[in-house]
């Protein structure tokens, strides 16, 4: 499109939709008009893409995820369509700032954290690699809560992301399906002797899909992310006459559960899980039937991925659709189901491995429960004589009056993967060891990855431009090419350019901090960043202990030689997680104490930015010097902010946990600060049960002073929270070994303080991190899933092979 064409189109859309001329339009009208234009451009490609998949009968993957966290799409759609610069300069010609329009868009925050964001990075990468893949999830009316701080406490407000409408989605009523919940089901014997389930008193709800185009990076591909929203079917309307009655149905897709990594034992949550699973499976089978192929070919055309346990009901639901609705026999249907499905485990934290009480399953999804019972019965019989009774009992899906969703997912699929090497190894050796004994061939690792397009090209243009200058722009298509930067390790001019780019982003963040919090920070200070959900295992508290250590040191010795540091936090706590909320309060109170103490001469500052989300991450990550990845070894399955921060030149301080291990391997020991217990040492403590935090406290005077600060009034206004934290660390023996790792952590921090002073030395480390971040491209990750697990091929490869053209 030429500039003139873009202007003409915008003018027309403003007139048609808003009765406004360009000159009179504000950012909101301009954003929606531009969004409409982008959609029109991508719709043509979208139509071609799915037509092509259909006519070529390409095998497609459906990625089932209860969370997607795409963030804003305006700039990323422009970038992927290859018109970002044209549109930006065209708008500038008419005195419109693209950044201002981008601010209008609400973050699509239909996820809690890493898990949901990973799903969205994958959507971007699947399309960008030309892979036939679709997302399947829930269109929540309210996304993850909006966080504010009032007197240092977290306050949760509703996130009304749909208030102004969502410009990217298309409501496809014609593709709606009915989902049946509740009621009771009994088996009836037919004349031919077969048993058939008969359902009574069921509630039928309508699942209406809203599709969003997932635009591939400059390759003409547009895939589909399908999100389901609940409605009352017209035939059922008379049953719900009052608004309150209607709400009992409509609330099904009203809110995202803000329970990051914690099981939420709620009836609505279970109904949500079944709702999007059932709608997704039904629509896939409807599509497959259009192909007119025999059932045994289903796994040659369809792969369905279970992202974490939330969609584990894919197993019984696919069985239900094949057996009950299409008359396949059980063995045949089971064979197909296992071949079609695959599962990713995202955590070893016991509280996040879902288990649903059987009585609840019986209420919400009675037929599904019956099918699970049959799966369980056959599982136990099939393994008799092959494995020990104990092993069979420990691994069956039904135990202790509960349905173990991970067991269901593993038994009913052909692949189980972890999300980083160490995590996958732990699954095999400990967490899912029993299953590894039974199905060794099903286990594999797929280390997480990130979409460099969003996290570098879009979020950090100054750095991206410097990289272009140094190594050409091939890395934009092939992130592995970032490796070429290693040639500049000793090139002072290049290192200085990268440093200057960082400074631009630090200044931008400093302005944002001033504007939103009133805190003044200097861009000459080290920006030390910890951004992730607030969770005890992630140890934000250990970071705070270090801050308090510095606080006391500077108080004692105001002339102390220390590189000024700004500690930046971003984190939401699950509303019901009181301990996490107490840590937020404590950080905010320490921040207030430190930032207002003139005697510290700005040597340290503490900033807790509220409402951490994808858009805020895009502001913080490019400005970071130090990346805090300090979870207790073994607890963080992978982490992905660790990858985004290294890509932007932050140097990591880390435990050997999750993908930090692979980051260390990629950058080498000189370019990362590793400290703390290893996963083996952690498990040794578990085994020997000889950890005593009290002993460490008793023997370490400095640590005593720091911990006492929580209860002796040094940190103001945390009477309750301070005591809770103090008790967690001492009375309850410090579950996540903060005191054990603290000393090592401090030493690593002191090294950072030293190294940062030598700016070329630091820059070299930073460069090594950028250069090796290409190893963590989600493009490579999804290619590995495509090859090893889903057996799907890029559309280009397929069409070339078949000798047809890709229209």
Enzyme catalytic residues = 346, 532-533, 538, 640, 644
Q: Does 613 bind ligand GL7 (CB under 6 A)?
A: no
- CB of 420 vs ligand GL7, minimal distance in Å: 8
Q: How far is the CB of 339 from ligand GL7 (least distance, A)?
A: 24
Under rule CB under 6 A, residue 637 binds ligand GL7? yes
Stretch that binds ligand GL7, among 187-195, 210-218, 346-354, 605-613 (CB under 6 A): 346-354
**CB closer to ligand GL7, 346 vs 572:** 346
Confirm or reject binding of residue 628 to ligand GL7 (CB under 6 A): no
Question: How far does Cα 784 stand from its chain's mean position?
Answer: 19
Q: Which of residues 399-438 bind ligand GL7 (CB under 6 A)?
A: 419
d(C-alpha 59, C-alpha 701), whole Å: 64
- Other C-beta atoms closer than 10 Å to the C-beta of 750 total 12
# residues near ligand GL7 by CB under 6 A: 18
CA of 23: how far to CAs of 74, 94, 461, 719, in Å? 21, 8, 29, 56
Reading phi first (left if > 0) and then psi (alpha if -120 to 50, else beta), residue 628 is in beta
Residue 353 touching ligand GL7 (CB under 6 A) = no
Window 106 to 145, contacts with ligand GL7 (CB under 6 A): 112-115, 118
Q: Which residues contact 572 (CB under 8 A, 6 or more apart)?
A: 144, 145, 147, 154, 258, 260, 533, 534, 611, 612
CA distance 622 to 369: 48
Rounded Cα gap, residues 427 and 431, in angstroms: 5
Closer residue to ligand GL7 (CB): 352 or 547 = 352
Region near ligand GL7 per CB under 6 A, out of 121-129, 246-254, 560-568, 638-646 = 638-646
Q: Is 259 among the residues that bind ligand GL7 (CB under 6 A)?
A: no
Block residue for tokens 């996040």: 352
Work out how close the CB of 491 gets to ligand GL7 at its nearest, in angstroms, rounded to a whole number: 34
- Return the number of the residue (65 or 648) whose C-beta is nearest ligand GL7: 65
Which among 582, 575, 576 has a CA at the least distance from the CA of 540? 582
State in angstroms the smallest separation of the CB of 351 from ligand GL7: 10
Which one of the spans 487-495, 566-574, 632-640, 664-672 is the region binding ligand GL7 (CB under 6 A)?
Answer: 632-640
Short-list 388, 109, 368, 84, CA closest to 217 = 84
Contacting range for ligand GL7; rule: CB under 6 A; set: 40-48, 370-378, 481-489, 635-643: 635-643
Alpha helices (runs of H) in 472-577, residue ranges in sequence order: 492-517, 540-556
Which residue lies nearer to ligand GL7 by CB, 448 or 763? 448
Rounded to a whole number of angstroms, the minimum distance from the CB of residue 273 to ligand GL7 is 14
Q: Phi and psi for 198 in degrees, rounded to 5? A: -120, 130
Nearest to 354 by CA among 307, 313, 404: 404
Nearest CA to 308 out of 68, 476, 40 is that of: 68
- Integer CA distances (angstroms), 306 to 60, 408, 558, 650, in order: 14, 11, 56, 33
260 lies in the site for ligand GL7, by CB under 6 A? yes
CB 785 within 8 A of CB 659: no
Shortest distance in whole angstroms from residue 308 CB to ligand GL7: 6
In sequence order, what E strands does 139-202 have?
Answer: 146-150, 153-157, 169-171, 177-181, 184-189, 195-200
Interface residue with ligand GL7 among 263, 354, 589, 636 (CB under 6 A) is 636
Kindly tell me which residue out of 80, 128, 342, 640 binds ligand GL7, with binding defined by CB under 6 A. Answer: 640
| Terminal C-alpha separation, the chain | 20
- Residue 450 CB, nearest approach to ligand GL7 (Å): 10
Cβ nearer to ligand GL7, comparing 366 with 658:
658
- Out of 125, 424, 540, 638, name the contact with ligand GL7 by CB under 6 A: 638
Interface residue with ligand GL7 among 346, 355, 442, 539 (CB under 6 A) is: 346
Binding residue for ligand GL7, selected from 128, 272, 299, 448, defined by CB under 6 A: 448
- Both tokens of 684, joined, read 């040794």
Contacting range for ligand GL7; rule: CB under 6 A; set: 38-46, 52-60, 154-162, 344-352? 344-352
352 lines the binding site for ligand GL7 (CB under 6 A): yes
CB 131 within 8 A of CB 794: yes
CB of 250 to ligand GL7, least distance (A): 27
Least distance in angstroms from the C-beta of 543 to ligand GL7: 17
Among 136, 347, 460, 693, binds ligand GL7 (CB under 6 A): 347
The residue with its CB nearest to ligand GL7 is 114
Binding residue (CB under 6 A) for ligand GL7 from 639, 649, 722, 794: 639
Helix residue ranges, H only, 321-444: 330-340, 358-364, 366-383, 389-395, 405-411, 421-426, 433-438
Nearest to 71 by CA among 161, 148, 169, 170: 161
- Given the complex with ligand GL7, which of 117 and 206 has the nearer CB atom? 117
> Of the listed pieces 192-200, 354-362, 636-644, 732-740, which binds ligand GL7 according to CB under 6 A?
636-644
Number of Cβ within 10 Å of residue 508's Cβ equals 15
Considering the complex, what minimum distance in angstroms separates the CB of residue 427 from ligand GL7? 13
Strands of 454-603, DSSP E: 526-531, 565-570
Examine residue 658 and tell whether it contacts ligand GL7 (CB under 6 A): yes
| Beta strands 108-110; 68-71: pairing state | antiparallel
Q: Which residues bind ligand GL7 (CB under 6 A)?
A: 112-115, 118, 260-261, 346-347, 352, 419, 448, 636-640, 658
């Amino acid at each position: 499109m030429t500039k003139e064409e873009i202007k003409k189109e915008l003018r027309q859309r403003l007139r048609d939709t808003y009765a406004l001329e360009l000159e009179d339009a504000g950012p909101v009208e301009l954003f929606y008009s531009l969004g409409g234009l982008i959609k029109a451009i991508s719709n043509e490609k979208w139509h071609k893409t799915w037509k092509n998949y259909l006519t070529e009968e390409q095998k497609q993957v459906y990625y089932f995820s209860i969370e997607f966290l795409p963030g804003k799409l305006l700039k990323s759609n422009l970038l992927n369509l290859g018109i970002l610069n044209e549109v930006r300069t065209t708008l500038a010609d008419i005195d419109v700032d693209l950044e201002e329009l981008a601010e209008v868009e609400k973050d699509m925050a239909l996820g809690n954290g890493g898990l949901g964001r990973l799903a969205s990075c994958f959507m971007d990468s699947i399309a960008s690699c030309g892979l036939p893949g679709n997302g399947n999830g829930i269109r929540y009316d309210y996304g993850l809560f909006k966080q504010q701080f009032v007197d240092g406490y977290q306050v949760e407000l509703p996130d009304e992301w749909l208030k102004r409408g969502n410009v990217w989605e298309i409501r496809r009523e014609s593709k709606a399906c009915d989902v049946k919940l509740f009621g009771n089901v009994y088996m009836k014997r037919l004349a031919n002797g077969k048993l058939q389930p008969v359902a009574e008193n069921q509630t039928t709800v309508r699942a209406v899909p809203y599709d969003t185009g997932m635009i591939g990076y400059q390759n003409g591909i547009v895939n589909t992310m399908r999100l389901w929203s609940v409605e009352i079917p017209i035939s059922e309307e008379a049953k719900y006459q009052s608004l309150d009655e209607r709400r009992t149905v409509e609330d099904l897709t009203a809110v995202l559960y803000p329970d990051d990594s914690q099981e939420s034992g709620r009836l609505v949550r279970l109904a949500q899980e079944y709702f999007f699973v059932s709608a997704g499976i039904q629509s896939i089978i409807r599509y497959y039937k259009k192909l007119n192929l025999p059932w045994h070919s289903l796994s040659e055309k369809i792969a369905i991925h279970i992202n974490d346990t939330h969609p584990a009901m894919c197993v019984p639901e696919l069985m239900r659709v094949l057996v009950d609705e299409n008359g396949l026999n059980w063995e045949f249907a089971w064979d197909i189901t296992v071949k079609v499905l695959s599962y990713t485990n995202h955590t070893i934290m016991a509280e996040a491995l879902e288990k649903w009480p059987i009585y609840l399953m019986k209420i919400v999804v009675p037929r599904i429960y019956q099918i699970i019972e049959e799966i369980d019965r056959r599982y136990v019989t099939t393994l008799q004589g092959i494995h020990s009774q104990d092993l069979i009992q420990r691994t069956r899906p039904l135990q202790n009056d509960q349905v173990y969703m991970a067991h269901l997912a593993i038994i009913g699929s052909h692949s189980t993967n972890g999300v980083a090497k160490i995590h996958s190894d732990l699954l095999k050796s400990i967490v899912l060891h029993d299953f590894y004994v039974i199905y060794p061939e099903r286990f594999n690792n797929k280390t997480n990855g990130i979409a460099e397009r969003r996290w570098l090209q879009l979020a950090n243009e100054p750095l991206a431009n410097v990289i272009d200058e140094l190594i050409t722009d091939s890395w934009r298509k092939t992130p592995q090419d970032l490796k070429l930067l290693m040639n500049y390790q000793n090139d002072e001019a290049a290192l200085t350019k990268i440093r200057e780019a960082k400074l631009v982003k630090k200044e931008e963040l400093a302005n944002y901090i001033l504007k939103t919090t009133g805190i003044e920070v200097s861009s000459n200070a080290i920006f030390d960043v910890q951004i992730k959900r607030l969770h005890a295992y992630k140890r934000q508290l250990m970071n705070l202990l270090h801050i308090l250590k510095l606080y006391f040191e500077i108080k004692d010795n105001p002339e102390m030689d220390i590189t000024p540091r700004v500690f930046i936090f971003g984190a939401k706590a699950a509303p019901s997680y009181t301990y996490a909320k107490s840590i937020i309060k404590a950080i905010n109170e320490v921040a207030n104490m430190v930032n207002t103490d003139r005697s510290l001469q700005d040597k340290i500052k503490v900033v807790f930015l509220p409402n951490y989300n994808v858009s805020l991450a895009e502001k913080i990550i490019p400005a970071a010097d130090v990346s805090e990845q300090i979870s207790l070894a073994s607890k963080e399955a992978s982490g992905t902010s660790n990858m985004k921060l290294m890509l932007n030149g932050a140097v990591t301080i880390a435990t050997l946990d999750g993908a930090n291990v692979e980051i260390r391997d990629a950058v080498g020991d000189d370019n990362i600060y590793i400290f703390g217990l290893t996963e083996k040492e952690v498990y040794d403590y578990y085994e020997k049960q000889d950890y005593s935090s009290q002993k460490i406290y008793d023997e370490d005077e400095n640590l005593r002073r720091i911990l006492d600060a929580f209860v002796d009034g040094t940190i103001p206004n945390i009477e309750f929270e301070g005591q809770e934290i103090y008790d967690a660390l001492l009375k309850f023996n410090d579950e996540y070994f903060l005191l054990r790792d603290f000393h090592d952590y401090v030493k690593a921090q002191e090294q950072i303080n030293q190294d940062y002073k030598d700016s070329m030395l630091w820059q070299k480390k930073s460069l090594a991190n950028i250069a090796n971040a290409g190893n963590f491209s989600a493009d490579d990750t999804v290619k590995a899933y495509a090859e090893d697990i889903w057996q799907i091929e890029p559309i280009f490869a397929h069409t070339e092979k078949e000798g047809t053209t890709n229209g």
